[in-house]
Chain A
Amino acid sequence: MTETFAVEILSAEKTYPNGTRALLPVDLKVREGEFVTLLGPSGCGKSTLLKMVAGLLAPSDGRLLLWRKPVSQIEATGHSLSFVFQEATLMPWARVQANVRLPLDLAGVPHAEADARVADALAMVGLSRFAGSLPRELSGGMQMRVSIARGLVTRPTLLLMDEPFGALDEITRNRLDSDLLDLWLAKKLTVVFVTHSIYEAVYLSNRVVVMAARPGRIVDEVFIDIAYPRGPEFRVSTAFSQYAKRLQDSLLRASGANADAAL
């Protein structure tokens, strides 16, 4: 059986009209059901790459395919994607229920069905009790959960997450990380996750793609061969530290190479 790739990035690159090279040509394939993390410092183009996968940014050269089709034709593949942003990006005037229902409203899903799916999505992120709340009445972590529920309500097969927990405190972040893994396992999602946290990358991923800045590029790739489900004890295990060290060395080497190049 041949492998199915959910995401194929074929020599995609991004150069801005002013000549800034945000991203050198990148090749990356993500298998269906895989959890891949893009790890790197600010300015390494990891968000740019993710936005190109989502079709929010056009590559200046190269191609990006989702299930062998350009992102604009993803419907034809029977798959769909959701994007979770760094901020919760909720409509402040709308209650949680209406915020989560937004993608369904925009797609014209009938109200009764939409409401049932919203209830499901809110239950998945543990916010059923807060359907009637306004975003500002919720904590940062809860707002992020609403944002994830909004991403899940369309029942996507591909979840793209751009540093979704970056603004949260460590305890909340760890909780949401393990909730995310549960969801990923339960729904058999494909996830491409962007973070600048080495520990988050190790904890979550099948595979970590290490990126470097100026110009943005991929410099390394590390498979995290630890079985799921991964409990909290994994975070304090020797294997975890070894992987973290491996990634940190890789990041340091890349920035060191930059320093040399600058001389």
Chain B
Amino acid sequence: MKPEVERVFYPSLVALVLLALWQGLVVGFNIPVFLVPSPVRVAQVLVTDAGLLFGALVNTLKITLLSFIAATVLGVLIAFAFVQSRAIETALFPYAVLLQVTPIVAIAPLIIIWVKDPTASLVICATLVALFPIIANTTLGLRSVNPGLMSVFKLNRATRLQTLLRLRIPSALPYFFGGLRISSGLSLIGAVVAEFVAGTGGTGTGLAYQILQAGYQLNIPRMFAALLLITVTGVLLFAAMSGLSTWALGDWHESEANHE
């Protein structure tokens, strides 16, 4: 079997075995559907409630993508500012850390109160969650220039701009893509968490809101279905970022190269 096929085949096999086991246990022990629904039941709900669930998914995805883009743009800009001078970095880095360590659930209510537009408030929350890995990784990348290559540029009297475009940015790319991979997942998590906070306040249209509602109504199969959608979305986002990384760095960077 080819490695690419193996990478899909074996995890799928595990999934099938686990699902079969789950189905068997639920049916065998006659477990009530409001405790643990069987996979078949979840699949049924996914079809019957498709309009509701996929509508919610689109909303969550919208928040996720908007915040992911915002985090990427902001994070890169901040990283560029950081590498311009040590003073800027020293002055501001603690606040970037502050941003990272403050739990989003603790500040989300404030943001939701302050920002009128619900979409904007959710995007701000999710952006805050996804921002830090982009800043940290891109800054590290822009600084991780081979000192020998730096000397080559210096000896050839390269300007600051030439060094940035031809050396710093290409050197930073592998780190930047690593940041993207982490942040893609975090922006989804941020979006869901923010929706939860907004949802407990009675507003919301995303998957988290559906989970909350389903919980109030003890509609456990729908809860599982929503959860499944969130998980699958996260995996797809991660895969997309990995694909982008391979496409962009493919033939040169060691972490992406196929060594025999």
Contact = CB atoms under 8 A, between A and B. Distances in A.
A211 to B, nearest CB: 21
A102 B152 contact: yes
Contacts of A85: 148, 151-152
A91 B156 contact: no
Nearest to A103: B156
**Chain A binding surface SS class:** loop
Contacts of A94: 170, 252
A55 B254 CA distance: 32
A16 interface: no
B55 to A, nearest CB: 43
Given A134-B251, A134-B252, A136-B254, A91 B154 contact: no
Contact of B151 (A83, A91, A102): A83
A186 interface: no
**Chain B binding surface SS class:** helix
Contact of A91 (B149, B155, B157): B149
Contacts of B155: 54-56, 81-83
- Pick the most buried of B151, B162, B170: most chain A CB atoms within 10 A of its CB: B151
Interface in A92-146: 92-94, 102-103, 105-107, 134, 136
Interface residues of A, number: 24
A107 B156 CA distance: 7
A182 interface: no
Given A92-B252, A134-B251, A136-B252, A87 B148 contact: yes
A112 B139 CA distance: 36
Contacts, number: 55
Contacts of B254: 92, 136
A151 B254 CA distance: 25
Interface residues of B, number: 22
Nearest to B147: A89
A91 B163 CA distance: 12
B146 interface: yes
Given A94-B170, A107-B156, 17 more contacts: A55-B155, A56-B154, A83-B152, A85-B148, A85-B152, A87-B148, A91-B149, A91-B166, A91-B170, A92-B252, A92-B253, A93-B170, A93-B249, A94-B252, A106-B158, A134-B251, A150-B152
26 contacts: A56-B154, A82-B155, A83-B151, A83-B152, A83-B155, A85-B148, A85-B151, A86-B148, A87-B148, A89-B146, A89-B149, A89-B152, A90-B149, A91-B167, A91-B170, A94-B170, A94-B252, A102-B156, A105-B166, A106-B156, A106-B157, A106-B158, A134-B251, A134-B252, A150-B152, A154-B156
Interface of B: 146, 148-149, 151-158, 162, 166-167, 170, 173, 249, 251-254, 257
